Amino acid sequence: MKRVGIIGVGEYLPEKILTNADLEKMVDTSDEWITTRTGIKQRHLAAPGQAASDLGVRAAQQALADAKIKAEDLDLIVVATITGDMPTPSTAAIIQNKLGAKKAVCFDLSAACAGFVYGISVAQQFIACGTYKNALVVGVEVLSSVTDWLDRNTCVLFGDGAGAAVLAQVPKGGIISTYLGCDGSKTDILNIPAGGSRQPATAASIEQRQHYLKMQGNELFKIAVNTMTRAAETVLEQAGMTFKDIDLIIPHQANARIIMAVAKKLGIPEDRVYLNIERCGNMSSASMVTALCEAVQEGKVKKGDTILLDVFGAGLVWGACIIEW
């Protein structure tokens, strides 16, 4: 099997910023509550009419430039998202057209906050076995389109954004180990009840606000801490490594308290944990890849470093991945 690595990254965050002070004017909340309970200070919001592909294409162009790969040479585009432009066609197909990546095979992948790690794992298989030479994996969300702006339990948490990574064969390093999982018995604690075939859009479903994200935050908190801890331990065990071998851990950005609880359980010092939640909130599929991109651009991930990605989300799904940069 061939070695596969990430050879370019990019991101795009929409210009509009919604601060905690702005939210204080919308629902019964406070900057103090949001900051201490979640670690979030602000989040980016897509402009009216700006859809997932509009964000995703900007991140993709940056990643392709970083990888020095032309769009027309792309073999595969995987878009991880739960807020694609429309149910069909795929947002990957729309991005393919916008990029001019005419020969790329395209599909979307739904694994919520674990989407990017699922996405690079899928792309890795195609490249490792020689089917394709390269792949673009985009993680993008316009969560503002499924956020109930009257529900203070959820609306303070989410944001919009996009990140992208180009994968190809690498002579050394690259993806060392990946671990993915799913527990489909808990679909009720984080979901969007309507808009699919179970509950198509009706006047009643809209009136009952069933097209928005519903979440049992408290329940999820505990599961997230335990699952992310176990995922990180499992992927390290698979690779025959310990935390001493890891230069930086990049966790899913759902809540700074979840992240710090995981770091504490794993015995990892805070300065080896990357956070962008304060500026971006939780962007589901886009969170991991934008955090990775920013960590690289800020020089916190350098050539030869070993990083650990650790994700958890609706499904419930989880994953962890060790990459030598």
Q: Which residues bind ligand COA (CB under 6 A)?
A: 29, 33-34, 37-38, 113, 152-153, 156, 190, 215, 217-218, 220-221, 224, 254-255, 258, 282, 312-313
Output 126 or 312, the one with its CB closest to ligand COA: 312
Three-class DSSP category at 287 = helix
- Check 252, 276, 280, 321 and give the catalytic one: 252
Q: Choose between 255 and 290: whose C-beta lies nearer to ligand COA.
A: 255
Annotation says 44 is catalytic:
no
Beta-sheet strands, E only, within the chain: 4-12, 16-19, 42-45, 76-80, 105-109, 134-142, 160-169, 174-182, 190-191, 214-215, 248-251, 306-313, 317-324
Q: Considering the complex, what minimum distance in angstroms separates the CB of residue 229 from ligand COA?
A: 14
95 — phi, psi (to 5°)?
A: -65, -40
Residue 111: CB minimum distance to ligand COA, A: 11
- How far apart are CB 28 and ligand COA at their closest, in Å? 7
Active site residue 113: yes
SS3 187: helix
- Report in angstroms the alpha-carbon separations of 221 from 56, 117, 118: 29, 20, 21
If the CB atoms of residues 56 and 281 are measured against ligand COA, the closer one turns out to be: 281
Q: Return the number of other C-beta atoms located less than 10 Å from residue 148's C-beta.
A: 16
Tally of CB atoms within 10 A around 155: 21
Among 106, 113, 293, 321, which one carries the catalytic annotation? 113
C-alpha 86/C-alpha 285 separation (Å) is 16
* Complex with ligand COA: residue 91 or 255, whichever CB lies closer: 255
The Cα-based distances of 90 to 25, 69, 197 in angstroms read 36, 23, 17
Q: Which candidate in 20, 134, 276, 282 is catalytic?
A: 282
Spatial separation of the C-alpha atoms in residues 127 and 93, rounded to whole Å:
20
Write down the least CB distance from residue 157 to ligand COA, Å. 6
Residue type, 12: Y
Q: Which is nearer to ligand COA, 78 or 113 (CB)?
A: 113
Q: How far is the CB of 16 from ligand COA (least distance, A)?
A: 20
> Are 143 and 127 a contacting pair, CB within 8 Å?
no
Query: Do 189 and 219 touch, CB atoms closer than 8 A?
Result: yes
- Token pair for 237: 């065990």
Taking alpha carbons only, the member of 101, 10, 108 closest to residue 52 is 108
- Min dist CB 201 to ligand COA, Å, is 24
Q: Which residue lies nearer to ligand COA by CB, 37 or 186? A: 37
Q: How far apart are CA 126 and CA 295, in angstroms?
A: 26
Catalytic status, residue 182: no
Active-site residue numbers?
113, 252, 282
